[in-house]
Chain A
Amino acid sequence: MLERTLFYSLEPLGIGTLQVEGLRSYVQRLAAAHSTPPRALLGTLLARFPFGSDMQASPAEVMRALVSYGSGRLIAEVTKRLELATGQSLEACTLERFGGLLAPQGFSRLQDPKYCPSCVQEDPRCHGHLAWDVGCVNVCPLHNVCLLSAKHCGAPNEEHLVLQQRPFLPSVCNQCGSVGFRCVVHDATPATAEQSWTAAAVAGAVAMSTEARGRCNAASVIAGLQMLVDTAYGGSSVRASLTAGLSRPSVGQWLLGRGKPSLTGLLRLCQGANCELSAVLQGDFQAVEVDRVPLDAPTTRQYRASHVTTDELRSRLAEALNVRPAPTVAEFARQNSTSARWVRKLFPEEAGKLAEMGKIQREMERAQAYEEALATYKNAAEELISRGKRVSPKNVEKLSGLVAFSSNTKRRHALLAAVTGAAENRHQGSANGTS
């Protein structure tokens, strides 16, 4: 038998363009071509090309890591294996290609995959763009409309598919299977000028060719940043940080090479200077051809912390204790531009009370969630009884549209309570009927 690649040699789409495909989308399309769920595909991949003894990851963990950035060797190892299994070069499809250049915090969108409503309207089978996987990109760089959450389904609960039947494709609703998210009907929201600028800059950077990426390294980022500060901010890092609304020490540390710049911070500096992000990463300065987009004022850092005195903080804390729902210590600190540690140190008693109130509040919220779930399940159980159908956890889940995942203890208990209660009621009802 001929020795062939494990998977089909599916070409990644949009390489070298703003629509370059992300690795998650690629794996989903490959899995669909093989008529298998993505996790099963990754399971097959890891069975054929297992990790060494120094690395362990389940297919589910690998699936999550596909859009990650700065997750160590995992994504690099997975990409290498996928390349072996398909015979395609997939380096351009990962965010990991910027590994070592920028700070990983908030870089990629791990939890909530997004899609562009205009892209899926034009092509209901379109692929997922790599730029959509970047945390700070909230609009489509092509259509300038806000991205929508792929987790939101507009179809009624009855039309939701059971878990085993849910498809995994970037332009298909995972919950109801609607191709091109036709289940979501509201109009696309136009993007602000700043959002569009950010999206275009990031899309330009992720579309960078392999050769251009080869020119990027930690030193080139520092050189680019220095050139940007020199050209656009008269060589003053303080001016640069004040214009971009960033902390002065942060920009200083980045210029000294003592810390990696965050993507959002670098984008604000670039926007303030109206220059290309991709050029800065390559150690260069290149002005953007479009008109300058002014930075949004509210996001500019205010340094309010220096104006808050200890007495003011105490009085605000006393006010916060009377607010319902009370903020957490961290929220309170953020609202007053100070650190939670500092609040706890200065006012341990009040901070303790705030924490205690938060605990009580969370318990109340959980109890309320339980009651709501119980009510939903009970209604569904009664509906099933009235239809003469069997009251089972599966049927109740399906009818209520509320899934009781095994990890959600409260909801699972509510489901079982509703089902048991319904069964008892029916038993009593039939016993009364007999007597």
Chain B
Amino acid sequence: MTEESAARQNELFEARVKHPAMNRLVEELMPLLLTPSETNIIIVTGATGVGKSTVTRVLLKQLMRDFAVEIERDQSALPFVGVEAYANGDQRHSFKGLYEDICKELQEPGMVSKAPLTEVDGRLVMNPQSRNTVAGLRKVVESGLRHRKTRVCVIDEAAHLLRFGRDAAVMDTLKSLSNTTNTKWVLVGSFDLFDLVASHGQIARRTTILNLERYRATSAEDRDAFKRLVTLLQAKWPCSSVPNFSAISNELLEVSLGCVGLLKNLMLDAAALQIKNRGEWDPRFLRRAAKASKLRKVIETEIEVGEAKVRDALYGRSTWDDKALEKLAARMGGCISA
């Protein structure tokens, strides 16, 4: 592979395309984040490869635009932070790593010399030993969020939080952090995140779930949007001889289950095969690049189960159906002037 083709392959890999569902989700999400309410934890779920990490980036960019005035006015303020809840191979790990990442994002200086203060029976004691404990780090994080005037914390790959402890304990921690620091927490991750909420009514009261929809083959609007997406990715093709993917966009939609990530995987593998074949395209590359049918089935089943799990818990899906709502509206009449 030449340097030029490697660079172009990387360009295709790095390409991020916003799709209409993503825009809709961000539009729904922003008012929840910017207005004060008791809904302090917002969960953004979606199928694997549907573009959740892209949604995180889009959200952070949008937050940067919305808080621009505040950031400009106060040189120390960090109105939002974004971190990733990573998995480090342990079967179980604690909030320590997450807190350390938040401290890093909060630009907390002198982490090696921290000595959190604790008040016991009217006495204040410095605890240099607690700088490496979860409790000590939590104090540092709380102080940082308060003083940096942080209002939104975004955690990508939040499903890894499930390994931090019992679901209720994880959510209780986030809830109390949110209460003490007056911040809203956005957890972005797979459908498993629903398990965090389902455990406790207290938590469900403070939580809203949004789902990033995948492209549906049954919707004409989605098919057109998917075709535009294929055309955009096709424009970044790393070889001079470019296969006409947009002509088979419907088939690609079906094979990728409407998930952009899966489509990109297919196209990246096909491009690699073409580069290896000295830039000559062979239609058989498509078959080799597409997910094996058994693996595809596994993914499809997981997506369907996940979607079914969160379907009735999504934001806007209240107990009132269209008919009931019509009745309510009729009884309420017009608005009363304040």
Most buried by B among A6, A8, A169: A8
Residues of chain A contacted by B139 (CB below 8 angstroms)? 35
Residues of B near A43 (CB, < 8 A) are 110, 113
Chain B CB within 8 A of A33 CB:
yes
Is B127 located at the chain interface by the 8 A CB criterion?
yes
A44 touching B110 in the complex, CB below 8 Å, given contacts A9-B75, A33-B143:
yes
Task: Indicate if the CB atoms of B148 and A8 lie closer than 8 Å.
Answer: yes
Selecting from A176-184, A395-403, A414-422, the interface stretch reads A176-184
Q: Mark B59-100, 1 if CB is under 8 A from A, else 0.
A: 000000000000100111110000000000000000000000
Cβ of B117 within 8 Å of any chain A Cβ, yes or no, is yes
**Distance (Å) between the CB of B104 and the closest chain A CB?**
9
Which residues does chain B contribute within 8 Å of A180, judged by CB atoms?
122
Task: Decide yes or no: A35 and B75 within 8 Å by CB, A165-B125, A177-B124 being known contacts.
Answer: no
Cβ A87 vs Cβ B76 within 8 A: yes
Residues of B within 8 A of A165 (CB): 125-128
Closest to A5 in B: B76
Contact B109 A34 (CB under 8 A): yes
Question: B239 within 8 Å of A by Cβ?
Answer: no
Residue B260 CB within 8 A of the other chain: no
Q: Which of A5, A7, A44, A177 contacts B113 (CB 8 A)?
A: A44
Among A35, A44, A167, contact of B125 (Cβ-Cβ < 8 Å)? A167
B124 pairs with A4, CB closer than 8 A: no
Picked from A35, A164, A177, A178, the residue with its CB within 8 Å of the CB of B116 is A35
Q: Is the CB of B110 within 8 A of A34?
A: yes
- Whether A36 contacts B110 by the Cβ 8 Å rule is yes
Task: Tell me, in angstroms, the Cα distance from A87 to B76 when the chains sit together.
Answer: 7
Shortest C-beta distance, B301 to chain A (Å), equals 40
Complex contact A167–B107 (CB within 8 A): no
A86-B110 in contact given A33-B143, A34-B143 (Cβ < 8 Å): no
Bound CA–CA A41/B71 (angstroms): 24
Q: When A2-B71, A6-B109, A87-B75 are in contact, do A35 and B143 touch as well, CB less than 8 Å?
A: yes
* Interface of A (DSSP majority class): loop
Give Cα A8 to B143, complex, Å: 10
Is B143 in contact with A179, judged by CB distance below 8 angstroms? no
Residues of chain A lying within 8 A (CB to CB) of residue B113: 36-37, 40, 43-44
The reply to whether A36 and B115 contact each other, CB–CB distance below 8 Å, is yes
Give A165 to B120 CA distance when docked, in angstroms.
13
The docked-state distance in angstroms from the alpha carbon of A177 to that of B125 is 6
Within 8 A of A (CB), among B226-275: none
Residue numbers in A under 8 Å from B119 (CB-CB):
179
**CB within 8 Å of A: which of B131-169?**
131, 136, 139-140, 143, 147-148
B108 is an interface residue with CB less than 8 A from chain A: yes
With known contacts A178-B123, A182-B122, A35–B78 Cβ distance under 8 A: no
Contacts of B147 in A (CB 8 A): 8-10, 33
Q: Is the CB of B76 within 8 A of A167?
A: no
- Assess the A4–B78 pair: CB atoms within 8 A: yes
Q: How far is the CB of A165 from chain B (nearest CB, A)?
A: 5
Distance in Å: Cβ of A122 to nearest Cβ of chain B: 16
Contact with B along A6-39 (1 / 0, CB 8 A): 1111100000000000000000000011111100
Q: How far is the CA of A176 from the CA of B119 in the complex (A)?
A: 12
Residue A431 at the chain B interface, CB threshold 8 Å: no
A172 within 8 Å of B by Cβ?
A: yes
Q: In the complex, what residue of chain B is closest to A40 when comparing beta carbons?
A: B113
Chain A residues, CB < 8 A from B117:
32, 35, 167
Considering only CB atoms and an 8 Å cut-off, how many residues of chain A contact the other chain?
A: 35
The one of A4, A172, A179 in contact with B76, judged by C-beta atoms closer than 8 angstroms, is A4
Q: Please report the C-alpha to C-alpha distance between residue A246 and residue B119 in the assembled complex, in whole angstroms.
A: 50
Q: How large is the interface on B (under 10, 10 to 19, 20 to 34, 35 or more residues)?
A: 20 to 34
- Is A41 a contact partner of B124 (Cβ separation < 8 A)? no
CB of A1 closer than 8 Å to a CB of B: yes
Query: B109 contacts A7, CB within 8 Å?
Result: yes
Q: Would A177 and B123 be within 8 Å (CB), given that A2-B71, A87-B74 are in contact?
A: yes
B110 touches A9 (CB 8 A): no
Residues of A close to B143: CB separation below 8 A = 33-35
Query: What residues of chain B lie closer than 8 Å to A169, measured between beta carbons?
Result: 124
Most B-side CB within 10 Å, residue of A1, A9, A36: A36
How distant is A32 from chain B, measured CB to nearest CB, in Å?
A: 6
Nearest CB in chain B: distance from A115 CB, A: 15
Across the interface, which residues of A come within 8 angstroms of B71, CB to CB? 2
A76 proximal to B (CB < 8 A): no
Set B76, B107, B116, B128: member contacting A1, Cβ < 8 A: B107
Q: Is B114 interfacial (CB 8 A cutoff)?
A: yes
Partner of B74, one of A6, A9, A36, A177: A9
How far is it, in angstroms, between the C-alpha of A211 and the C-alpha of B59 when the chains are bound?
45
Give complex CA distance A47, B76 in Å: 19
Given the complex, which residues of B lie within 8 Å of A5, measured CB to CB? 75-76
The interface residues of chain B lying within 8 Å CB-to-CB of A172 are 124
Per the bound structure, the CA–CA distance linking A8 and B140 in Å amounts to 12
How many Å lie between the Cα of A179 and that of B117 in the bound state? 12
Contact between chains at B76 and A9 (CB < 8 Å):
yes
Give the residue of A2, A9, A37, A41 whose beta carbon is less than 8 angstroms from that of B126: A37
Q: State the CA gap A41–B113 with chains docked (Å).
A: 9
Give chain A residues whose Cβ lies under 8 Å from the Cβ of B116: 35
A residues 153-176 near B (Cβ < 8 Å) are 161, 164-167, 169, 172, 176
* Nearest-Cβ distance from residue B65 to partner chain A, whole angstroms: 13
The interface residues of chain A lying within 8 Å CB-to-CB of B115 are: 35-37, 40, 164
Q: Give the residue among B71, B117, B128, B139 with the most A Cβ atoms within 10 A.
A: B117
B108 to chain A, nearest CB (A): 7
Tell me the bound Cα distance from A164 to B113 in angstroms.
11
Contact with B along A43-82 (1 / 0, CB 8 A): 1100010000000000000000000000000000000000
Q: For the complex, give the distance between the alpha carbons of A178 and B110 in Å.
A: 26
Q: State in angstroms the CA–CA spacing of A296 and B115 once bound together.
A: 48
B337 CB to closest chain A CB (Å) equals 41
Q: B81 to chain A: closest CB distance in Å?
A: 10
**Cβ-defined contact, B108 with A34, below 8 A:** yes
The chain A residue with its CB closest to the CB of B108 is A34
Known A-B contacts: A8-B148, A167-B117. Give 4 more (CB < 8 A): A4-B76, A10-B147, A40-B110, A164-B128
- 21 chain-A/chain-B pairs, Cβ below 8 angstroms: A1-B107, A4-B78, A4-B107, A6-B107, A8-B76, A9-B76, A32-B117, A34-B108, A35-B116, A35-B139, A35-B143, A36-B113, A36-B115, A40-B115, A44-B109, A44-B113, A87-B75, A165-B128, A172-B124, A177-B124, A179-B124
User: Chain A: residues with CB nearer than 8 A to chain B?
Assistant: 1-2, 4-10, 32-37, 40-41, 43-44, 48, 86-87, 161, 164-167, 169, 172, 176-180, 182
Closest 9 CB pairs of A and B: A9-B76, A8-B147, A40-B113, A177-B123, A87-B75, A5-B76, A44-B110, A35-B116, A167-B124
Residues of B within 8 A of A (CB): 71, 74-78, 105, 107-110, 113-117, 119, 122-128, 131, 136, 139-140, 143, 147-148
